[in-house]
Amino acid sequence: MSFQESINQAYTFKGESILLGAAMLDAAPQADTRVKLPLKTMNRHGLIAGATGTGKTKTLQLLAEGLSDASVPVMMMDIKGDLSGIGAAGTLNDKITERCSHIGVDYKPAAYPIEFLTLSDEPGTRLRATVSEFGPVLLSKILGLNDTQEGIVSMIFKFCDDHELPLLDLKDLVKVLQYMNNEGKEQVKEAYGNISSQSTGTILRKIIELQQQKADVFFGEKSFEVDDLMRISDDGRGMISIVRVTDLQDRPKLFSTFMLQLLAELYGSLPEAGDVDKPKLVLFLDEAHLIFQDATEALLQQLETVIKLIRSKGVGIFFITQNPNDIPQSVLGQLGMKIQHALRAFTAKDRQDIKKVAENYPETEFYKTEDLITQLGIGEAIVTLLNEKGIPTPLVHTMLCPPKSRMDVLTSTEIGAIIANSAIAAKYNQVVDNESAYELLTAKIKEAAGEEEEEEKTSGKKEKSTLDTILSNPVTKQVGRTAASIITRTLLGVLGLGGTTRRKKTGWF
């Protein structure tokens, strides 16, 4: 079978698909040989990899545009701050004209409906989640706790449920821990068992570590609702939500915390979808290595489990990173679609890494993969994916279509205008601080301290009153005087100054 017949047969699908570009052979684009991506298998997850400057971001834009056009909502993690341009129409230039002629397509600039979200103080709609929504198991994985400490966290959640103490933010969790280790220690011990001070101290240190990465801005109310990620714009296109996390590059713990909670929330709230013609939502995780950086073994296992299961809910996840080796093998094995941009070999280790990367792709008679990876031009990639039957497609060198939207960032004025017109910003950007465990326990401790102080005062007054009553009694006074006289006489007698003098004086009278 010829190259053209092989690729056209492998990359032609019955359902809806996204045009990626034209196949290339011997570095020449074949305009009559199209490479497409079926929407039906986009919930099988994917990988976009390549060195800096090879076109990963533009490929991400291309896929997001195709999904939005197909009425599929998209969520993108914007680590570098270079994805906002999708909200403005692109501009035709010579390079785009030349590329479109090679591929055999017309260029139609378009702006896409976007929503800016944020985990921090960046402009946009605030994303938050409560501690209760994490649950004890997920929270323990994030904190990296052992089995004993995880049991204590479960006990904390049980204690709060039993006593109607809402766990909304991290200060609630800290307050409950302190209470269970101090004022409420006996109460907790009697109802739930003994808690080691050493274990609670360790948990507190882990929470403080999370707080130092400014996680307080993420935990709290109002919790973001999954439905607001899955909106369709008025013109029928899928809404593209861009999470602005440019200030989280040095805070991987917070980034992985958010991602794990989001995936768990999606999995827990969405119904089973089975085989669908197109996904319900697709997530693009730029700089994906940050999710796995410093992650514990338990956290990696949790991520792997969620990634395996969430596709049954109709959700696809695409990891964007420089090198496929940045992704754990257990996760990499779940990614059915791979778009590999160029890798550069500057050292012996680089060559070894490229060889390992090449081994992840299907063998092909048309290319020598190991060499091709280093020879790809900007905006070119080798592609393999899953067809409608879930069978991997043959590897193909592809010249990718240019995005229809702006291949540059929006200005701060343009970003401000989009945020001002947001349909959900007002819903989530209000500062909410409902009464929760922190306030309730603080009030309880103050009330207990006040009652104790009042009891001491009351007890003191009663004691004084009784003594006054006794001393004011005439009989008591007489007994007191008699006792005092006896004591005085006895003392004087002991000193040899007693009765003799008294008697002599009496005799003189």
Q: What pLDDT is stored for residue 56 in this prediction?
A: 93
Indicate the residue type of 378.
I
Residue 479: predicted pLDDT: 45
Mean pLDDT confidence for 353-373: 88
Sign of CA dihedral 143, 149, 154, 158: negative
Residue 247 has what pLDDT?
72
222 upstream amide cis, omega within 30 of 0: yes
What's the token pair of residue 50? 């390549």
What is the per-residue pLDDT for 167? Answer: 92
Q: Tell me the C-alpha distance between 41 and 61, whole Å.
A: 19
- Is residue 19 scored above 90 in pLDDT? yes
Q: Pick the range with the lowest mean pLDDT from 295-304, 342-351, 397-406.
A: 295-304
User: Is 60 exceeded by the pLDDT of residue 484?
Assistant: no
Band (483; pLDDT cuts 50, 70, 90): very low
- Determine the pLDDT at residue 357: 87
Run of H or E including 32: strand 28-38
- β-bridge mates for residue 318, sequence order: 46, 284
Find, among 187, 211, 62, the residue nearest to 448 by Cα. Answer: 187
pLDDT tens across 87-112, in order? Answer: 999 999 999 999 999 999 999 999 99
pLDDT of residue 66: 96
Residues 14-38, mean pLDDT to the nearest whole number: 92
Please state, in angstroms and rounded to a whole number, the distance separating the CA atoms of residues 23 and 46. 20
Q: For 194-303, where are the E strands, in sequence order?
A: 240-244, 281-285
Q: Which of 144-158, 283-297, 467-481 has the lowest mean pLDDT?
A: 467-481
pLDDT average, residue stretch 36-55: 92
Helix axes 147-162, 185-192, angle to 10 degrees: 100
> Residue 231 is encoded by which pair of tokens?
């909106």
What is the average pLDDT value for the chain, to the nearest integer? 84
Q: How many CB atoms lie within 10 A of CB 55?
A: 24
pLDDT at residue 466 is higher than 50? no
Q: Which of 79-93, 389-403, 463-477, 483-497 is predicted with the least confidence, judged by mean pLDDT? A: 483-497
Q: Judge whether 315 and 43 are in contact, CB under 8 Å.
A: yes
* 3-state secondary structure (DSSP) of residue 399: strand
For residue 434, the model assigns a pLDDT of 82
Highest mean pLDDT among 17-31, 181-195, 243-257, 453-467: 17-31
d(CA 387, CA 393): 6
Q: Which domains occur in the chain, in start order?
A: 3-127+235-426 (3.40.50.300), 129-220+435-469 (no CATH)
Question: What are the tokens at 318?
Answer: 């695409």
pLDDT of residue 300: 78
**pLDDT given at position 250:** 67
Calpha distance 312→401 (Å, rounded)? 30
Q: What is the pLDDT of residues 54-74, one digit of tens each?
A: 999 999 999 999 999 999 999
Residue 119, pLDDT score: 83
From CA 234, how far away is CA 237, in angstroms rounded?
Answer: 7
Q: Is the pLDDT of residue 29 over 80?
A: yes
Q: What is the pLDDT of residue 452?
A: 65
Q: State the pLDDT at residue 388.
A: 87
pLDDT at residue number 327? 87
Q: How far is CA 395 from CA 16, 124, 287, 322, in A?
A: 21, 40, 24, 20
pLDDT bracket for residue 473 (50, 70, 90): low
**Dihedral (CA of 347, 353, 356, 357) sign:** negative
Give me the pLDDT at residue 459, please: 62
